[in-house]
Amino acid sequence: MKFKVFLMVILLIFVLFASVNAKGDSDTKLLDRKGMIIGENPPKDKPELFAKGIVSTGMFERDITFSPDYSQCYFRIQLGGRATIITLKQKNRKWTKPHVAEFSGIYNDMEPHISPDGKYLYFVSNRPMDDSKQPLDETNIWRMKKNGKKWGKPEPLGEKINGRGNVYYPSVTKNNQLYFTRRDENNNEYIFVSDYENGKFKNPVKLPDTINSGKYQFNAAISPDGDYIIVPVFGRKDSIGATDYYISFKKDDKWGKLKNLGSMINSEKSEYAPYITPDGKYLFFQSQQGSIKNMEKMSYEKLKKIFKNPRNGLSDIYWISTEFLYELK
């Protein structure tokens, strides 16, 4: 009898421990999830400003990217003709103070993109390709490899990608396919793709007319699985503003026709910097929606306050769940 009672006590302790441990695991996952969102409610049905006052501040922000675990973020600030890449990290479930990325701040650096596996950070720059310090008249795509917790030295991609005029906006799939924009000698911009094989990028291929539907499409964001692509296009007849976001789905290895993402995403202003998170759950995008519509005379202090807050007509960064994209499919 005593032995049975002992076994029952041991069993009860085991059940209680397992219950507490399971609850702890659940709480940990919940905390991780909240930590990933950095205390913000994930938008689902409509876009929301991202990290108001931290990332979206009233300055001209665009081109955002995240590490796969969302612990690190990079984005671009534009000041006149100067582009600088900014970074911040998640620490103690809060964003650290933004600062200029270690590899940026001297040349025009823009359009950072972390590969879905987190092994590489791509970006665009006019920095010299040799030992000189003179900036170039064109832009190239550079890449850094993750070494432990730090990024290695920036290295330009090979001549198959660079070396034929300005290239922009790298976006990479899980299998390391590189999508990017190339500007031709007539200043037309088209989307290209390059496969990755044996540690090198192959000759780029221009995407079909279903994607390159006009003279000006650029800054395309490919989904991590490569099953859809979001393309900013200028001047289409179905455009809501000057430049709108469009989506195309791939089926049987063919790209479908572009579909406008609609007025929930696009505005009468220009939109041209989309990004899909490594887990495919969120669409981040730049928009210049918002303006000063009040016609009354304002004080200098009020003007300054408006300038230091988002939605003032400059570029801000928004995010939304990608669930609505599949409804368009």
Q: What's residue 295's pLDDT?
A: 67
SS3 72: strand
What is the 3 state secondary structure string of 97-152?
CCEECCCCCCCCEEEEEECCCCCEEEEEECCCCCCCCCCCCCCEEEEEEEECCEEC
- The answer to whether residue 113 sits within a structural domain is yes
Domain CATH code at residue 95: 2.120.10.30
Tokens in use for 208?
């079909």
- Please give the Cα distance from 196 to 117 (Å, whole number): 14
- The answer to whether residue 251 sits within a structural domain is yes
* Span between the terminal Cα atoms of the chain, in Å: 66
- The answer to whether residue 12 sits within a structural domain is no
Per the CB < 8 A criterion, the answer to whether 275 and 284 are in contact is yes
- The answer to whether residue 131 sits within a structural domain is yes
Tokens in use for 33?
């999830």
**195: Cα separation from own chain's centroid:** 21
Q: What b/e sequence results for 304-317 when a residue is b if at least 16 CB atoms lie within 10 Å of its CB, and e otherwise?
A: eebeeebbbbbbbb
Number of domains composing the chain: 1
Note down the domain range covering 105: 38-328
- The answer to whether residue 24 sits within a structural domain is no
Nearest to 107 by CA among 140, 75, 74: 140
> 23: which residues sit within 8 A by CB, 6+ positions away?
none
- The answer to whether residue 321 sits within a structural domain is yes
315: left (phi > 0), else alpha (psi -120 to 50), else beta?
Answer: beta
- The answer to whether residue 181 sits within a structural domain is yes
- Please give the chain's pLDDT, 329 residues, in tens: 544 544 444 444 443 334 334 333 333 333 344 445 555 677 888 999 999 999 999 999 999 999 999 999 999 999 988 999 999 998 887 889 999 999 999 999 999 999 999 999 999 999 999 888 899 999 999 999 999 989 999 999 999 999 778 999 999 999 999 999 999 888 899 999 999 998 899 999 999 999 999 889 999 999 999 999 999 999 899 999 889 999 999 999 999 999 999 999 999 888 999 999 999 999 999 999 877 666 688 899 998 998 899 999 899 999 999 999 988 88
Location of structure tokens 């790209």: 255
